[in-house]
Each structure stands twice: as structure tokens, then as C-alpha cells.
């Protein structure tokens, strides 16, 4: 069994092969988006995932993040 996961939307799926897991994930994402739209919550759902919709295209809000390395004591 293989697991596919979309961290941006926090949606998992699975399948008996990598291809099936990916296909099932695409299907589950489509269902989530359709249901959110039917309920009038699509914009809220996308915003909570850090996504914007413009003319039917989803885009991620880009954010520059920096990390400072932690130095371990010798």
C-alpha cells in the first residue's frame, strides 16, 4: 500500500501502487474543492491552505523563510 499526501491542503490518500495513490489523491482533492465550492467555503478553504485562486488557477503564496543553523556544543 502506498500513501500520497498533499501537505498544502492536508489531504491524504492511498493506493496499491504509486500511480494509483497519486490518482486517488487527485480525485480526493477534486472532491474536496467541489464540496467546498458547493458549500460556499472555497475561498475560505483555499486561504486556510495558503492558496489564492485567480481565473480558475491556484497559486501558492510565496514566502521567503530563513533559518539560522544551530551550533552544537563540542
2-51 tens-digit pLDDT: 999 998 889 999 999 999 999 999 999 999 999 999 999 988 888 888 88
In a domain? residue 6: yes
pTM above the 0.75 mark? Answer: no
pLDDT for 64 beyond 70: no
70 found inside a domain: no
Tell me what pLDDT residue 65 has.
Answer: 66
Overall domain count for the chain: 1
Q: Is residue 20 part of a domain?
A: yes
Contact between 32 and 11 under an 8 Å Cβ cutoff? The reply is yes
Is 63 among the domain residues? no
Of the candidates 66, 67, 59, 65, which has an alpha carbon nearest to the alpha carbon of residue 8? 59
Q: Is residue 59, in this structure, part of any structural domain at all?
A: no
DSSP bridge pairs for 15:
2
Q: Is residue 38 part of a domain?
A: yes
Query: Which residues pair with residue 11 across a beta bridge?
Result: 6
Length of the chain: 74
Radius of gyration, alpha carbons of the chain: 17
Per the domain annotation, does 34 fall within a domain? yes
Amino acid at each position: 500500500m502506498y500513501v500520497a499526501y498533499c501537505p498544502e491542503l492536508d489531504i491524504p490518500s492511498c493506493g496499491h501502487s504509486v500511480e494509483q495513490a497519486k490518482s486517488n489523491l487527485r480525485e480526493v482533492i477534486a472532491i474536496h474543492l467541489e464540496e467546498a465550492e458547493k458549500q460556499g467555503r472555497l475561498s475560505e478553504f483555499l486561504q486556510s491552505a495558503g492558496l489564492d485562486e485567480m481565473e480558475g488557477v491556484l497559486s501558492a503564496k510565496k514566502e521567503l523563510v530563513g533559518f539560522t543553523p544551530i551550533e552544537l556544543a563540542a
